[in-house]
A and B are shown apart, each in its own frame.
Chain A
Amino acid sequence: MIQFTNVKKTYDSNLTEALHDVSFVIEDGEFVFLVGPSGSGKSTILKLITAEERITSGGILVGDFDLGKLKKRKVPYLRRTLGIVFQDFRLIENRTVRGNLEFVMRVVNTSNKVIKERIPYVLDLVGLSDKADCYPNELSGGEQQRVAIARALVNNPSTIIADEPTGNLDPERSYELMCLLEKINQLGTTILIVTHERDLVNCFNKRVITIDNGYVTSDMENGLYDYETI
Protein backbone atom coordinates (compact mmCIF):
# COMPACT_ATOMS: atom_id res chain seq x y z
CA MET A 1 0.00 0.00 0.00
CA ILE A 2 1.15 3.52 -0.84
CA GLN A 3 -0.63 6.32 1.00
CA PHE A 4 -0.02 10.05 0.46
CA THR A 5 -1.70 12.38 2.97
CA ASN A 6 -1.60 16.13 2.25
CA VAL A 7 1.94 15.88 0.97
CA LYS A 8 3.81 19.10 0.35
CA LYS A 9 7.29 19.16 -1.15
CA THR A 10 9.50 22.19 -1.51
CA TYR A 11 12.98 21.66 -2.99
CA ASP A 12 15.56 23.26 -0.71
CA SER A 13 17.91 24.18 -3.53
CA ASN A 14 15.66 26.64 -5.36
CA LEU A 15 12.59 26.76 -3.07
CA THR A 16 10.38 25.38 -5.88
CA GLU A 17 7.14 24.07 -4.40
CA ALA A 18 6.81 20.99 -6.61
CA LEU A 19 3.86 19.45 -4.70
CA HIS A 20 1.31 21.61 -2.91
CA ASP A 21 -1.22 19.17 -1.50
CA VAL A 22 -1.24 15.60 -2.76
CA SER A 23 -3.32 12.78 -1.28
CA PHE A 24 -4.12 9.35 -2.68
CA VAL A 25 -4.07 5.70 -1.67
CA ILE A 26 -2.85 2.84 -3.85
CA GLU A 27 -3.82 -0.58 -2.50
CA ASP A 28 -1.75 -3.74 -2.94
CA GLY A 29 -2.22 -5.33 -6.33
CA GLU A 30 -3.44 -2.19 -8.12
CA PHE A 31 -2.28 -0.98 -11.53
CA VAL A 32 -2.13 2.83 -11.61
CA PHE A 33 -1.13 5.40 -14.21
CA LEU A 34 0.16 8.70 -12.86
CA VAL A 35 -0.25 11.27 -15.60
CA GLY A 36 0.13 15.00 -16.11
CA PRO A 37 2.06 17.57 -18.11
CA SER A 38 5.81 18.00 -17.87
CA GLY A 39 6.92 19.73 -14.67
CA SER A 40 3.68 18.92 -12.83
CA GLY A 41 5.45 16.94 -10.08
CA LYS A 42 5.16 13.29 -11.22
CA SER A 43 8.82 12.42 -10.80
CA THR A 44 8.83 14.21 -7.47
CA ILE A 45 6.10 11.84 -6.24
CA LEU A 46 8.22 8.83 -7.25
CA LYS A 47 11.35 10.26 -5.63
CA LEU A 48 9.40 10.73 -2.40
CA ILE A 49 8.23 7.11 -2.52
CA THR A 50 11.83 5.85 -2.92
CA ALA A 51 13.05 8.25 -0.18
CA GLU A 52 15.44 9.89 -2.61
CA GLU A 53 13.77 13.12 -1.52
CA ARG A 54 12.11 13.88 1.83
CA ILE A 55 8.66 15.45 2.29
CA THR A 56 8.29 19.01 3.56
CA SER A 57 4.99 18.30 5.32
CA GLY A 58 2.18 15.75 5.30
CA GLY A 59 2.70 11.99 5.48
CA ILE A 60 3.61 9.04 3.28
CA LEU A 61 3.20 5.37 4.12
CA VAL A 62 4.82 2.75 1.87
CA GLY A 63 3.97 -0.71 3.17
CA ASP A 64 5.23 -0.76 6.75
CA PHE A 65 7.46 2.26 6.28
CA ASP A 66 6.40 5.68 7.57
CA LEU A 67 8.55 7.90 5.35
CA GLY A 68 8.15 10.98 7.55
CA LYS A 69 10.02 9.18 10.34
CA LEU A 70 12.19 6.81 8.31
CA LYS A 71 15.80 6.69 9.56
CA LYS A 72 18.51 7.02 6.93
CA ARG A 73 19.91 3.57 7.59
CA LYS A 74 16.46 2.03 7.05
CA VAL A 75 16.16 3.47 3.53
CA PRO A 76 17.83 0.43 1.88
CA TYR A 77 15.18 -1.83 3.39
CA LEU A 78 12.39 0.37 2.01
CA ARG A 79 13.98 0.21 -1.45
CA ARG A 80 14.16 -3.58 -1.34
CA THR A 81 10.37 -3.62 -1.40
CA LEU A 82 10.33 -1.49 -4.57
CA GLY A 83 11.41 -2.21 -8.13
CA ILE A 84 12.33 0.93 -10.05
CA VAL A 85 12.38 1.45 -13.83
CA PHE A 86 13.60 4.58 -15.62
CA GLN A 87 13.09 6.07 -19.05
CA ASP A 88 16.81 5.60 -19.89
CA PHE A 89 17.00 1.91 -18.78
CA ARG A 90 20.22 2.45 -16.69
CA LEU A 91 21.74 -0.95 -17.40
CA ILE A 92 25.39 -1.72 -16.67
CA GLU A 93 26.98 -1.77 -20.14
CA ASN A 94 29.88 -4.11 -19.40
CA ARG A 95 27.71 -6.82 -17.89
CA THR A 96 25.50 -9.24 -19.75
CA VAL A 97 21.75 -9.39 -19.22
CA ARG A 98 22.32 -12.20 -16.75
CA GLY A 99 25.16 -10.21 -15.15
CA ASN A 100 22.91 -7.19 -14.70
CA LEU A 101 20.32 -9.28 -12.89
CA GLU A 102 22.90 -11.14 -10.83
CA PHE A 103 24.45 -7.82 -9.81
CA VAL A 104 21.31 -6.52 -8.11
CA MET A 105 20.64 -9.89 -6.48
CA ARG A 106 24.13 -9.90 -4.91
CA VAL A 107 23.49 -6.43 -3.53
CA VAL A 108 20.77 -7.83 -1.30
CA ASN A 109 22.77 -10.91 -0.32
CA THR A 110 20.88 -13.47 -2.37
CA SER A 111 22.35 -16.97 -2.26
CA ASN A 112 23.80 -18.54 -5.41
CA LYS A 113 21.08 -21.16 -5.36
CA VAL A 114 18.27 -18.61 -5.45
CA ILE A 115 20.10 -16.57 -8.12
CA LYS A 116 20.36 -19.65 -10.34
CA GLU A 117 16.65 -20.37 -10.01
CA ARG A 118 15.29 -16.86 -10.17
CA ILE A 119 17.10 -15.43 -13.22
CA PRO A 120 15.73 -17.91 -15.81
CA TYR A 121 12.24 -17.49 -14.36
CA VAL A 122 12.33 -13.69 -14.65
CA LEU A 123 13.93 -13.72 -18.10
CA ASP A 124 11.23 -16.08 -19.29
CA LEU A 125 8.58 -13.75 -17.87
CA VAL A 126 9.90 -10.77 -19.85
CA GLY A 127 10.49 -12.94 -22.94
CA LEU A 128 14.29 -12.66 -23.06
CA SER A 129 15.39 -16.21 -22.26
CA ASP A 130 17.52 -16.36 -25.40
CA LYS A 131 19.28 -13.04 -24.68
CA ALA A 132 20.74 -13.93 -21.27
CA ASP A 133 24.33 -13.72 -22.48
CA CYS A 134 23.94 -10.58 -24.60
CA TYR A 135 25.35 -7.23 -23.60
CA PRO A 136 22.93 -4.26 -23.41
CA ASN A 137 24.30 -2.65 -26.59
CA GLU A 138 23.44 -5.81 -28.51
CA LEU A 139 19.74 -5.33 -27.68
CA SER A 140 17.02 -3.05 -29.07
CA GLY A 141 15.54 -0.29 -26.91
CA GLY A 142 12.43 -2.35 -26.18
CA GLU A 143 14.55 -5.33 -25.16
CA GLN A 144 16.76 -3.16 -22.96
CA GLN A 145 13.71 -1.81 -21.17
CA ARG A 146 12.46 -5.36 -20.65
CA VAL A 147 15.83 -6.17 -19.06
CA ALA A 148 15.31 -3.14 -16.80
CA ILE A 149 11.89 -4.53 -15.84
CA ALA A 150 13.40 -7.95 -15.22
CA ARG A 151 15.97 -6.28 -13.00
CA ALA A 152 13.25 -4.41 -11.08
CA LEU A 153 11.40 -7.69 -10.64
CA VAL A 154 14.23 -10.03 -9.81
CA ASN A 155 14.41 -9.21 -6.09
CA ASN A 156 10.70 -9.89 -5.80
CA PRO A 157 9.45 -6.41 -4.82
CA SER A 158 5.86 -5.78 -3.77
CA THR A 159 5.63 -2.72 -6.02
CA ILE A 160 7.13 -1.69 -9.36
CA ILE A 161 7.53 2.02 -9.97
CA ALA A 162 8.30 3.22 -13.49
CA ASP A 163 9.13 6.80 -14.52
CA GLU A 164 8.18 7.28 -18.19
CA PRO A 165 9.29 3.73 -19.08
CA THR A 166 8.15 4.09 -22.67
CA GLY A 167 9.67 7.53 -23.24
CA ASN A 168 12.41 6.14 -25.47
CA LEU A 169 10.33 3.53 -27.29
CA ASP A 170 8.16 3.61 -30.42
CA PRO A 171 4.36 3.19 -29.95
CA GLU A 172 4.31 -0.50 -30.77
CA ARG A 173 7.12 -1.38 -28.32
CA SER A 174 5.47 0.90 -25.77
CA TYR A 175 2.25 -1.05 -26.05
CA GLU A 176 4.10 -4.37 -25.65
CA LEU A 177 5.89 -3.07 -22.60
CA MET A 178 2.60 -2.02 -20.97
CA CYS A 179 1.18 -5.46 -21.70
CA LEU A 180 4.19 -6.97 -19.96
CA LEU A 181 3.62 -4.75 -16.92
CA GLU A 182 -0.05 -5.73 -16.94
CA LYS A 183 0.97 -9.39 -16.93
CA ILE A 184 3.31 -8.77 -13.99
CA ASN A 185 0.47 -6.99 -12.20
CA GLN A 186 -1.75 -10.03 -12.70
CA LEU A 187 0.91 -12.11 -10.93
CA GLY A 188 0.41 -9.92 -7.85
CA THR A 189 2.83 -7.00 -8.08
CA THR A 190 1.49 -3.47 -7.52
CA ILE A 191 2.35 -1.24 -10.50
CA LEU A 192 2.66 2.55 -10.57
CA ILE A 193 3.56 4.05 -13.95
CA VAL A 194 4.33 7.70 -14.63
CA THR A 195 3.66 8.67 -18.23
CA HIS A 196 2.34 11.51 -20.35
CA GLU A 197 1.46 9.30 -23.31
CA ARG A 198 -2.23 9.79 -23.55
CA ASP A 199 -3.03 7.21 -26.25
CA LEU A 200 -1.24 4.48 -24.41
CA VAL A 201 -3.08 5.21 -21.16
CA ASN A 202 -6.40 5.24 -22.93
CA CYS A 203 -5.76 1.77 -24.39
CA PHE A 204 -5.63 0.11 -20.99
CA ASN A 205 -8.66 1.14 -19.00
CA LYS A 206 -6.84 1.35 -15.65
CA ARG A 207 -6.97 3.71 -12.70
CA VAL A 208 -5.56 7.11 -13.70
CA ILE A 209 -4.33 9.75 -11.21
CA THR A 210 -3.82 13.12 -12.88
CA ILE A 211 -1.37 15.65 -11.41
CA ASP A 212 -1.22 19.25 -12.51
CA ASN A 213 0.97 21.94 -11.05
CA GLY A 214 1.47 20.05 -7.79
CA TYR A 215 -2.17 19.12 -7.15
CA VAL A 216 -4.17 15.96 -7.85
CA THR A 217 -6.78 17.15 -10.34
CA SER A 218 -8.53 13.84 -10.96
CA ASP A 219 -8.37 10.24 -9.77
CA MET A 220 -10.59 7.77 -11.63
CA GLU A 221 -11.00 4.00 -11.86
CA ASN A 222 -11.06 2.86 -15.49
CA GLY A 223 -10.06 6.41 -16.26
CA LEU A 224 -8.94 8.19 -19.35
CA TYR A 225 -6.07 10.60 -19.76
CA ASP A 226 -7.79 13.60 -21.24
CA TYR A 227 -6.39 17.09 -21.39
CA GLU A 228 -9.88 18.57 -21.61
CA THR A 229 -10.69 17.52 -18.05
CA ILE A 230 -7.74 19.47 -16.67
Chain B
Amino acid sequence: MRRFNLFYYIKQGFHGAGSHGFMTFASIGIMACCLLIMGSFSLLAINLEHNLAALMAENEFLAYVDDSYDDQTAQTLESEITAIENVASCTFISREEALANYVGELEDTSLYADVPASALRARFSVQVHDIEQLQATLDEVEAIEGVVKINAALDVADGFVTMRNVMVIIALVMVVILIIVSFFIISNAIKLATSSREREIAIMKMVGATNSFVRWPFVVEGLILGLGSSLVAMLAQWGVYQLLVEAVSVYSHVQLINIIPFEALASTVAIAFCGIGLFVGVLGSVTTIRKFLLV
Protein backbone atom coordinates (compact mmCIF):
# COMPACT_ATOMS: atom_id res chain seq x y z
CA MET B 1 0.00 0.00 0.00
CA ARG B 2 2.82 2.41 0.80
CA ARG B 3 4.36 2.22 -2.66
CA PHE B 4 1.01 2.77 -4.26
CA ASN B 5 0.44 5.80 -2.02
CA LEU B 6 3.80 7.37 -2.77
CA PHE B 7 3.07 7.09 -6.47
CA TYR B 8 -0.39 8.54 -5.95
CA TYR B 9 0.94 11.53 -3.98
CA ILE B 10 3.56 12.34 -6.59
CA LYS B 11 1.04 12.02 -9.39
CA GLN B 12 -1.43 14.24 -7.54
CA GLY B 13 1.31 16.76 -6.79
CA PHE B 14 2.25 17.08 -10.46
CA HIS B 15 -1.39 17.14 -11.43
CA GLY B 16 -1.94 20.04 -9.02
CA ALA B 17 1.09 21.96 -10.27
CA GLY B 18 -0.05 21.41 -13.85
CA SER B 19 -3.71 22.27 -13.36
CA HIS B 20 -2.94 25.91 -12.50
CA GLY B 21 0.04 26.16 -14.77
CA PHE B 22 0.34 29.94 -14.89
CA MET B 23 0.52 30.23 -11.12
CA THR B 24 3.12 27.45 -11.00
CA PHE B 25 5.11 29.21 -13.71
CA ALA B 26 4.91 32.58 -11.95
CA SER B 27 5.80 31.13 -8.57
CA ILE B 28 8.81 29.30 -9.94
CA GLY B 29 9.89 32.44 -11.80
CA ILE B 30 9.66 34.75 -8.81
CA MET B 31 11.26 32.29 -6.47
CA ALA B 32 14.06 31.61 -8.92
CA CYS B 33 14.70 35.38 -9.03
CA CYS B 34 14.92 35.42 -5.25
CA LEU B 35 17.39 32.57 -5.28
CA LEU B 36 19.37 34.26 -8.04
CA ILE B 37 19.65 37.51 -6.07
CA MET B 38 20.59 35.59 -2.94
CA GLY B 39 23.13 33.57 -4.88
CA SER B 40 24.67 36.58 -6.62
CA PHE B 41 25.26 38.47 -3.41
CA SER B 42 26.62 35.39 -1.71
CA LEU B 43 28.97 34.62 -4.60
CA LEU B 44 30.17 38.22 -4.56
CA ALA B 45 30.88 37.94 -0.86
CA ILE B 46 32.66 34.62 -1.40
CA ASN B 47 34.84 36.14 -4.12
CA LEU B 48 35.74 39.11 -1.97
CA GLU B 49 36.63 36.78 0.84
CA HIS B 50 38.75 34.77 -1.56
CA ASN B 51 40.60 37.87 -2.79
CA LEU B 52 41.04 39.04 0.73
CA ALA B 53 42.52 35.71 1.66
CA ALA B 54 44.93 35.97 -1.27
CA LEU B 55 45.82 39.47 -0.23
CA MET B 56 46.39 38.34 3.31
CA ALA B 57 48.53 35.42 2.30
CA GLU B 58 51.05 37.70 0.67
CA ASN B 59 50.56 40.62 2.93
CA GLU B 60 53.65 42.33 4.03
CA PHE B 61 54.94 45.79 4.70
CA LEU B 62 58.36 47.39 4.83
CA ALA B 63 59.86 48.94 7.93
CA TYR B 64 62.79 51.28 7.12
CA VAL B 65 65.71 51.50 9.46
CA ASP B 66 67.34 54.74 10.67
CA ASP B 67 70.22 55.83 8.35
CA SER B 68 72.65 56.10 11.19
CA TYR B 69 72.39 52.37 11.95
CA ASP B 70 74.85 50.08 10.24
CA ASP B 71 73.77 46.60 9.14
CA GLN B 72 75.02 45.03 12.33
CA THR B 73 73.01 47.20 14.69
CA ALA B 74 70.03 47.24 12.34
CA GLN B 75 69.75 43.47 12.53
CA THR B 76 69.33 43.63 16.30
CA LEU B 77 65.88 45.16 15.66
CA GLU B 78 64.70 41.90 14.13
CA SER B 79 64.02 40.20 17.48
CA GLU B 80 62.03 43.22 18.63
CA ILE B 81 59.82 43.12 15.53
CA THR B 82 59.19 39.37 15.69
CA ALA B 83 58.24 39.75 19.36
CA ILE B 84 55.09 41.60 18.28
CA GLU B 85 52.16 39.22 18.41
CA ASN B 86 50.64 39.70 14.95
CA VAL B 87 53.98 39.43 13.13
CA ALA B 88 54.31 36.16 11.26
CA SER B 89 57.85 36.60 9.97
CA CYS B 90 60.42 39.28 9.44
CA THR B 91 63.33 39.37 6.97
CA PHE B 92 66.23 41.82 7.01
CA ILE B 93 67.11 43.42 3.66
CA SER B 94 70.44 45.25 3.59
CA ARG B 95 71.06 48.39 1.49
CA GLU B 96 72.89 46.36 -1.15
CA GLU B 97 70.14 43.77 -1.42
CA ALA B 98 67.52 46.47 -1.65
CA LEU B 99 69.35 48.16 -4.50
CA ALA B 100 69.87 44.88 -6.28
CA ASN B 101 66.15 44.08 -5.97
CA TYR B 102 65.13 47.49 -7.16
CA VAL B 103 67.44 47.56 -10.17
CA GLY B 104 66.55 43.99 -10.96
CA GLU B 105 62.95 45.01 -11.54
CA LEU B 106 63.88 47.67 -14.10
CA GLU B 107 64.39 47.07 -17.78
CA ASP B 108 67.01 49.73 -18.34
CA THR B 109 69.55 49.29 -15.57
CA SER B 110 72.18 51.65 -16.96
CA LEU B 111 70.65 54.68 -15.26
CA TYR B 112 71.29 53.23 -11.84
CA ALA B 113 74.68 51.77 -12.51
CA ASP B 114 76.44 54.45 -10.48
CA VAL B 115 73.96 54.81 -7.65
CA PRO B 116 75.63 53.85 -4.37
CA ALA B 117 73.90 51.42 -2.11
CA SER B 118 74.04 53.98 0.67
CA ALA B 119 71.39 56.02 -1.17
CA LEU B 120 68.81 53.47 0.04
CA ARG B 121 67.82 52.52 3.55
CA ALA B 122 68.16 49.11 5.08
CA ARG B 123 64.71 47.63 5.75
CA PHE B 124 62.74 44.75 7.14
CA SER B 125 60.09 42.94 5.17
CA VAL B 126 57.40 42.03 7.71
CA GLN B 127 54.52 39.59 7.22
CA VAL B 128 51.48 39.72 9.47
CA HIS B 129 49.01 37.00 10.53
CA ASP B 130 45.82 39.03 10.58
CA ILE B 131 45.37 41.80 8.08
CA GLU B 132 42.46 43.28 10.00
CA GLN B 133 44.87 44.24 12.78
CA LEU B 134 47.43 45.69 10.38
CA GLN B 135 47.08 49.25 11.64
CA ALA B 136 47.76 48.27 15.25
CA THR B 137 50.79 46.24 14.19
CA LEU B 138 52.12 49.11 12.10
CA ASP B 139 51.84 51.41 15.10
CA GLU B 140 53.73 48.96 17.27
CA VAL B 141 56.52 48.49 14.72
CA GLU B 142 56.83 52.22 14.16
CA ALA B 143 57.20 52.76 17.90
CA ILE B 144 60.39 50.67 17.92
CA GLU B 145 63.51 52.81 18.40
CA GLY B 146 65.43 52.73 15.11
CA VAL B 147 62.44 52.29 12.75
CA VAL B 148 61.89 55.55 10.93
CA LYS B 149 59.25 54.91 8.32
CA ILE B 150 56.65 52.34 7.37
CA ASN B 151 55.48 51.57 3.89
CA ALA B 152 52.27 49.54 3.70
CA ALA B 153 49.35 49.15 1.33
CA LEU B 154 47.06 49.90 4.22
CA ASP B 155 44.39 51.60 2.11
CA VAL B 156 43.94 48.61 -0.14
CA ALA B 157 43.76 46.23 2.79
CA ASP B 158 41.36 48.45 4.69
CA GLY B 159 39.11 48.90 1.66
CA PHE B 160 38.98 45.19 1.09
CA VAL B 161 38.13 44.32 4.65
CA THR B 162 35.34 46.89 4.80
CA MET B 163 33.95 45.84 1.45
CA ARG B 164 34.08 42.18 2.43
CA ASN B 165 32.32 42.84 5.73
CA VAL B 166 29.64 44.96 4.09
CA MET B 167 29.09 42.32 1.41
CA VAL B 168 28.79 39.51 3.93
CA ILE B 169 26.19 41.49 5.86
CA ILE B 170 24.26 42.41 2.72
CA ALA B 171 24.38 38.79 1.55
CA LEU B 172 23.08 37.53 4.90
CA VAL B 173 20.29 40.10 5.04
CA MET B 174 19.35 39.28 1.44
CA VAL B 175 19.25 35.57 2.17
CA VAL B 176 16.96 36.07 5.16
CA ILE B 177 14.62 38.51 3.37
CA LEU B 178 14.41 36.42 0.22
CA ILE B 179 13.82 33.18 2.11
CA ILE B 180 10.85 34.89 3.77
CA VAL B 181 9.65 36.20 0.39
CA SER B 182 9.98 32.72 -1.12
CA PHE B 183 8.08 31.24 1.78
CA PHE B 184 5.15 33.57 1.09
CA ILE B 185 5.26 32.83 -2.63
CA ILE B 186 5.04 29.08 -2.02
CA SER B 187 2.44 29.59 0.67
CA ASN B 188 0.37 31.71 -1.69
CA ALA B 189 0.61 29.19 -4.53
CA ILE B 190 -0.45 26.38 -2.20
CA LYS B 191 -3.27 28.52 -0.83
CA LEU B 192 -4.53 28.95 -4.36
CA ALA B 193 -4.12 25.24 -5.02
CA THR B 194 -6.02 24.31 -1.88
CA SER B 195 -8.81 26.85 -2.30
CA SER B 196 -9.52 25.62 -5.82
CA ARG B 197 -9.75 22.16 -4.32
CA GLU B 198 -11.57 23.06 -1.14
CA ARG B 199 -14.52 20.86 -2.01
CA GLU B 200 -12.28 17.92 -2.83
CA ILE B 201 -10.50 18.30 0.49
CA ALA B 202 -13.84 18.48 2.33
CA ILE B 203 -15.00 15.31 0.58
CA MET B 204 -11.75 13.56 1.37
CA LYS B 205 -12.16 14.42 5.03
CA MET B 206 -15.81 13.36 4.95
CA VAL B 207 -15.09 9.89 3.58
CA GLY B 208 -12.27 9.29 6.06
CA ALA B 209 -9.01 10.46 4.53
CA THR B 210 -6.19 10.73 7.03
CA ASN B 211 -4.56 14.14 7.39
CA SER B 212 -1.33 12.93 5.86
CA PHE B 213 -3.23 11.63 2.83
CA VAL B 214 -4.70 15.09 2.28
CA ARG B 215 -1.42 16.84 3.00
CA TRP B 216 1.03 14.89 0.86
CA PRO B 217 -0.07 15.95 -2.63
CA PHE B 218 0.29 19.59 -1.58
CA VAL B 219 3.68 18.95 -0.03
CA VAL B 220 4.74 17.34 -3.30
CA GLU B 221 3.42 20.39 -5.14
CA GLY B 222 5.41 22.67 -2.81
CA LEU B 223 8.47 20.53 -3.45
CA ILE B 224 7.98 20.79 -7.20
CA LEU B 225 7.86 24.59 -6.90
CA GLY B 226 10.86 24.69 -4.59
CA LEU B 227 13.05 22.32 -6.58
CA GLY B 228 11.89 23.73 -9.93
CA SER B 229 12.92 27.18 -8.78
CA SER B 230 16.31 26.00 -7.60
CA LEU B 231 16.95 24.32 -10.94
CA VAL B 232 16.03 27.45 -12.91
CA ALA B 233 18.02 29.64 -10.50
CA MET B 234 21.03 27.36 -10.80
CA LEU B 235 21.11 27.71 -14.59
CA ALA B 236 20.54 31.45 -14.43
CA GLN B 237 23.23 31.82 -11.79
CA TRP B 238 25.67 30.01 -14.01
CA GLY B 239 24.90 32.34 -16.92
CA VAL B 240 25.12 35.51 -14.82
CA TYR B 241 28.38 34.38 -13.31
CA GLN B 242 29.94 33.63 -16.69
CA LEU B 243 28.95 37.09 -17.93
CA LEU B 244 30.58 38.59 -14.86
CA VAL B 245 33.74 36.56 -15.35
CA GLU B 246 33.97 37.75 -18.96
CA ALA B 247 33.37 41.35 -17.97
CA VAL B 248 36.14 41.23 -15.38
CA SER B 249 38.56 39.40 -17.64
CA VAL B 250 38.50 42.40 -19.99
CA TYR B 251 40.47 44.20 -17.29
CA SER B 252 42.38 41.12 -16.33
CA HIS B 253 45.78 42.68 -17.08
CA VAL B 254 45.24 44.67 -13.88
CA GLN B 255 45.33 41.35 -12.01
CA LEU B 256 43.73 43.05 -9.05
CA ILE B 257 40.66 40.85 -8.86
CA ASN B 258 40.91 37.11 -8.96
CA ILE B 259 37.55 35.40 -9.70
CA ILE B 260 36.86 31.84 -8.60
CA PRO B 261 35.71 29.76 -11.58
CA PHE B 262 32.01 28.76 -11.39
CA GLU B 263 32.89 25.08 -11.70
CA ALA B 264 34.58 25.25 -8.31
CA LEU B 265 31.43 26.71 -6.72
CA ALA B 266 28.76 24.83 -8.70
CA SER B 267 28.19 22.00 -6.23
CA THR B 268 27.96 24.40 -3.27
CA VAL B 269 25.50 26.60 -5.14
CA ALA B 270 23.45 23.56 -6.20
CA ILE B 271 23.29 22.20 -2.66
CA ALA B 272 22.39 25.61 -1.20
CA PHE B 273 19.67 26.27 -3.80
CA CYS B 274 18.15 22.79 -3.50
CA GLY B 275 18.32 22.97 0.29
CA ILE B 276 16.54 26.31 0.39
CA GLY B 277 14.04 25.13 -2.26
CA LEU B 278 13.22 21.95 -0.32
CA PHE B 279 12.99 23.75 2.99
CA VAL B 280 10.78 26.58 1.77
CA GLY B 281 8.67 24.22 -0.37
CA VAL B 282 7.83 21.87 2.46
CA LEU B 283 7.40 24.54 5.11
CA GLY B 284 5.29 26.76 2.85
CA SER B 285 2.86 23.99 1.92
CA VAL B 286 2.60 22.32 5.34
CA THR B 287 1.81 25.57 7.15
CA THR B 288 -0.71 26.62 4.52
CA ILE B 289 -2.84 23.48 4.50
CA ARG B 290 -2.95 23.16 8.26
CA LYS B 291 -6.22 25.04 8.51
CA PHE B 292 -7.91 22.65 6.08
CA LEU B 293 -7.14 19.69 8.26
CA LEU B 294 -8.90 20.91 11.38
CA VAL B 295 -12.37 19.51 10.53
List the B side residues contacting A103 at CB < 8 Å: 200, 203
Q: Decide if A107 touches B204 in the complex (CB within 8 Å).
A: yes
**Which residues of A are found within 8 Å of B5, using beta-carbon distances?**
109
| Docked pose: A78 CA to B205 CA in angstroms | 11
Closest B residue to A84 by CB, please name it: B206
Which B191-234 residues have a C-beta within 8 angstroms of A?
199-200, 202-211, 213
Given contacts A106-B8, A109-B1, A109-B5, contact A80 B200 (CB under 8 A): no
| A20: min CB distance to chain B, Å | 25
CA of A77 to CA of B211, assembled, Å: 12
A79 touches B200 (CB 8 A): no
Other-chain contact of A79, B8, B199, B206, B211 (Cβ < 8 Å) = B206
Contact of A108 with B by CB under 8 A = yes
A107-B213, A109-B1, A109-B4 given as contacts; is B208 within 8 A of A77 (CB)?
yes
Q: Which size bracket describes the interface of A in this complex?
A: 20 to 34
Contact B207–A79 (Cβ < 8 Å): yes
A92 and B207 form a contact (CB under 8 A) = no
B207 CB contact (under 8 Å) in A52, A80, A111: A80
A92 and B206 contacting across the interface, CB-CB below 8 Å: no
CB of B200 within 8 A of CB of A76, answer: no
What residues of A have a CB within 8 angstroms of the CB of B106 in the complex? none
Task: Assess the B199–A90 pair: CB atoms within 8 A.
Answer: yes
Contact of B209 among A78, A92, A108, A111 (CB under 8 A): A108
- The residue on B at minimum CB distance from A78 is B208
Q: Which positions 109-161 of chain A face chain B at CB distance < 8 Å? A: 109, 111, 151, 155
B295 and A107 within 8 A (CB): no
Q: Which residues of B contact A92 (CB under 8 A)?
A: 199-200, 203
- A108 vs B206: C-alpha distance when bound (angstroms): 11
Residues in A with CB closer than 8 Å to B209 are: 76, 107-108
A108-B203 Cα distance, complex, nearest whole Å = 12
With most chain A CB atoms within 10 A of its CB, the pick from B200, B205, B207, B295 is: B207
Q: Does A69 contact B (CB under 8 A)?
A: no
Which of chain B's residues have a CB closer than 8 A to the CB of A44? none
Given the interface pairs A90-B199, A90-B202, the reply to whether A104 lies near B1 with Cβ below 8 Å is no
Chain A min CB distance to B274 (Å): 30
Residues of A with C-beta under 8 A to B206: 50, 79, 84
Residues of B1-17 contacting chain A, CB below 8 A: 1, 4-5, 8
Q: Which residues of B contact A78 (CB under 8 A)?
A: 208
Q: Which listed residue, B8, B205, B207, B211, touches A108 by the CB 8 Å rule? A: B207
Q: How far is the CB of A157 from chain B (nearest CB, A)?
A: 9
CA distance A109 to B208 in the complex (A): 11
The residue on A at minimum CB distance from B207 is A104
- In the complex, what residues of A have CB within 8 A of residue B200's CB? 92, 103
Task: Report whether A108 and B208 are in contact in the complex, using a CB–CB cutoff of 8 Å.
Answer: yes
Cβ contact within 8 Å between B208 and A76: yes
Question: Does A71 reach chain B (CB closer than 8 Å)?
Answer: no
CA distance A111 to B7 in the complex (A): 13
What sequence of 0s and 1s flags, for each residue 14-50 of chain B, a beta carbon within 8 Å of any chain A beta carbon? 0000000000000000000000000000000000000
Provide the residues of chain A in CB contact with B199, threshold 8 Å.
90, 92
A92→B204 CA distance, assembly (Å): 11
Contact across chains for B207 and A155 when beta carbons are under 8 A apart: yes
Minimal beta-carbon separation of B195 from chain A (angstroms)? 15
Q: CA–CA, A106 to B8, complex, Å?
A: 9
A155 nearest CB neighbor, chain B only = B207
Bound form: Cα–Cα A73–B202 in Å:
16
Would A76 and B210 count as touching, CB distance under 8 A?
A: yes
Q: Tell me which residues across on chain B come within 8 A of A109, comparing CB atoms.
A: 1, 4-5
CB distance from A2 to the nearest CB of B (A): 17
Please, which residues of chain B bring their CB within 8 A of the CB of A107?
204, 207-209, 213
For window 145-202 of A, CB contacts with B under 8 Å fall at 151, 155
User: A104 to B208, alpha carbons, bound, how many Å?
Assistant: 9
CA distance A11 to B169 in the complex (A): 53
- Which residues of A lie under 8 Å from residue B204 when comparing CB positions? 104, 107
User: Nearest chain-B residue to A105 (Cβ)?
Assistant: B207
B207 to chain A: which residues have CB within 8 Å?
A: 79-80, 84, 104, 107-108, 151, 155
A-to-B contact residues, CB < 8 Å:
50, 52, 73, 76-80, 84, 90, 92, 103-104, 106-109, 111, 151, 155
Q: Interface residues, chain B, CB within 8 Å of chain A? A: 1, 4-5, 8, 199-200, 202-211, 213, 295
List 6 interface pairs A-B (beta carbons < 8 Å), by A numbering: A52-B295, A73-B211, A78-B208, A79-B208, A84-B207, A104-B204
Known contacts A90-B199, A92-B199; 10 further A-B pairs (Cβ under 8 A): A73-B210, A76-B205, A76-B211, A79-B205, A80-B207, A92-B200, A92-B203, A107-B204, A107-B208, A109-B5
